[in-house]
Amino acid sequence: MSQASPIVHKTRTQLVVEVLREKILSGDIKAGEPLRQSALAQELNVSRIPVREALLQLEAEGLVKFEAHKGATATELSVEQASELFELRALIEPDLLRKSIPNLTEKQLNHAEEVLVQLESAFRSENAINTWSELNTQFHACLYLGANRPQAMDVIKGLNTNSDRYIRLQLLLTGGIPRAETEHRELLELCRSGQVDAAATLLVNHILHAKDGVKKLVEQHVNNEK
């Protein structure tokens, strides 16, 4: 009765969603780039139906803009969007963390630490941008498990997916995110020792600090485009 790897039959739609999401997040598909249904269908060896359904899902995630009769494009990046995303996260995540800390189990904390270790090693290895971003989101999510707030987690997940594009940009262009590593470790310790206020404060700063970094970067990046 192992439920480990239940040989799930993924639908073609799900596969397309994953491929396209990764391509958009990684920048392989650039912002504003039109996504032709037939071209994608041919490229991925499926019909247009799964492609369309995938594009709809990605639109819901905010990665794609789908206009009737006009076609789909990867959504554009902007300083405004980045700022707003991080500020929203700075509002919601600390609240989640506060609610979570008192209920975090030893097991959950250990799991968070495992993720953190992977995160730290990914930081060092080259070309691990994609996994770093993924692990980063996962680490944050781990810490909120005690809050038992599925809806809020969904919202955060969505915000994180969108933040990812900016974070990867930063990783790509600067090679790292200055204080993230030490802050993560520190955050985990504060959670472990149950220091709610300190942890929440650190988290706010952690997120706002990330925002500042991204903001500067996107400003000049957008300038370069023109």
Q: Is residue 37 involved in binding a second copy (CB under 8 A)?
A: no
The partner in contact with residue 169, picked from DNA, a second copy, none with C-beta cut-offs of 5 to 8 angstroms by kind, is none
Q: How many Å apart are CA 50 and CA 112, to the nearest integer?
A: 35
Which residue lies nearer to DNA by CB, 13 or 170?
13
Minimum gap (Å) between residue 40 Cβ and DNA: 9
150 is a contact residue toward a second copy (CB under 8 A): yes
Instruction: Report which secondary-structure segment, H or E, holds 72.
Output: strand 71-74
118 forms part of the interface with DNA (CB under 7 A): no
User: Among residues 2, 3, 68, 126, which is the contact residue for DNA, using CB under 7 A?
Assistant: 68
Binding flag, residue 81, a second copy (CB under 8 A): yes
Per-residue contact string for residues 151-190; x = within reach of DNA by CB under 7 A: ----------------------------------------
Range 156-178 burial, b when 16+ CB lie within 10 A, else e? beebbbbbbbbbbbbbeeeeebe
Q: Indicate if the alpha-carbon torsion angle 107, 109, 113, 114 is positive or negative.
A: positive
Phi-psi region of 27 (alpha: psi -120 to 50; beta: other; left: phi over 0): left
Q: Rounded to the nearest whole angstrom, what is the least distance from the CB of residue 39 to DNA in the complex? A: 8
Within residues 129-158, the interface with DNA by CB under 7 A covers none
The token pair at 202 is 């650190």
Listing DSSP states for 152-194 in one string gives: HHHHHHHHHHHHHHHHHHHHHHHSS-TTHHHHHHHHHHHHHTT
**Residue closer to a second copy, measured from CB, 50 or 123:** 50
Is 56 a binder of a second copy (CB under 8 A)?
A: yes
DSSP 31: T
Residue 94 in contact with residue 149, Cβ under 8 Å?
no
Q: Which is nearer to DNA, 47 or 105 (CB)?
A: 47
Task: Compute how many other C-beta atoms are within 10 angstroms of the C-beta atom of residue 10.
Answer: 9
Footprint of a second copy (CB under 8 A)? 9, 11, 14, 49, 52-53, 56-57, 60-62, 68-69, 81, 84-85, 88, 91-92, 95, 149-152, 154-155, 158-159, 162
